[in-house]
Structure 1
Amino acid sequence: MNALVSRASLAKRYAVLGIFSLLIWMVAWLTWLSPSEVLPKSVATGLAVAPMLPAALLALFRRPSAVFWGGIAALLYFCHAITELWTVPDTWPMPLVELLLSLWIIFAGNWDGLKAKLFKRGDT
């Protein structure tokens, strides 16, 4: 039975760690560190974590597609972080953390494919 259970690679585990870290960071950012001045805390936080929730739920159920959907959502968070860095430079540390976490998810989720493509062995 144990031979049938495939284990996720270390890179995929790091990507899942990044998914949950980004969710926790967004909740902390919009609830305690710098709450929205326009929207209530719960609405702003709910909108901020909504793109990553499907990936987190898939990861909780140990579905292999969690990393894929986390990477897609991380692209949205990457764009959000760049926009925040550009438009609200006074709060630069918070979007910088979001930017780094989104890049973490993207690269960790794609590392196995990048490694196979860049470091492939063989006689070409």
Structure 2
Amino acid sequence: MTSAGRVTALAILALFALQIVWHGWLAPPVHAAPWVMALLFALPILPALGLLLAGHRRAGFWGAFAALLYFSHGVMAAWVSPDVRNLALGQALVSAVLVVAASWDGLQARFRRRRAPPDV
């Protein structure tokens, strides 16, 4: 696994853990059961987590796909709720890291200079 793959895996795990900790423990909802909200907020990253645990190579793609939702939610929550601003900005940061890390190997391959064929 490349270093970008390791960062991708860590970011997927961090986003999952952040949802559980944020909505289940640090800032639980007032009008709903915290475990229900934690599970609902963790749902988008669960396919990527399952693929990661299975060792599938598409885990980064699905993690980055879910990270776009988490990034949007993090920016919105940071803007609207000052009491969870640090958690929300952390979510947006981890989401951005996940998108970049999941795309890194493909970007490197795309922009890598091709060697000229040897002269014969």
Q: Does 1:113 align with 2:110?
A: no
Instruction: State the number of aligned residues.
Output: 116
8 Å contact kept, 2:20–2:42? yes
**Structure 1 gaps, min length 5:** 1-7
Match of 1:75 among 43, 65, 68: 68
Alignment map for 1:10-25 (pairs within 5 Å): 10-25=3-18
Identity of aligned residues (%): 35
Task: Identify the residue that residue 57 of structure 1 maps to in structure 2.
Answer: 50
Match of 1:90 among 83, 90, 96: 83
SS in structure 1 of the partner of residue 30 of structure 2: coil
1 or 2 for the larger relative contact order (CA 8 Å, sep ≥6)? 1
Q: Does 1:103 align with 2:103?
A: no
**Structure 2 gaps, min length 5:** none
Q: Once the 2 structures are TM-superposed, how far is the Cα of residue 110 of structure 1 from its aligned partner?
A: 0.4
Q: Normalising to structure 2: TM-score of the pair? A: 0.89
Structure exhibiting the larger radius of gyration computed from Cα positions: 2
- Higher deviation after alignment, 23-32 or 43-52: 23-32
Residue deviations 1:52-92 (CA, integer Å, cap 9, x gap): 00100000000001110000000010011011011112321
Task: Identify the residue that residue 33 of structure 2 maps to in structure 1.
Answer: 40
For residues 91 and 22 of structure 1, what CA distance do their matches in structure 2 show? 16
Q: Once the 2 structures are TM-superposed, how far is the Cα of residue 94 of structure 1 from its aligned partner?
A: 0.7
Q: Normalising to structure 1: TM-score of the pair? A: 0.87
Which one has the bigger helix percentage?
2
- Higher deviation after alignment, 47-56 or 84-93: 84-93
Q: Once the 2 structures are TM-superposed, how far is the Cα of residue 123 of structure 1 from its aligned partner?
A: 6.7
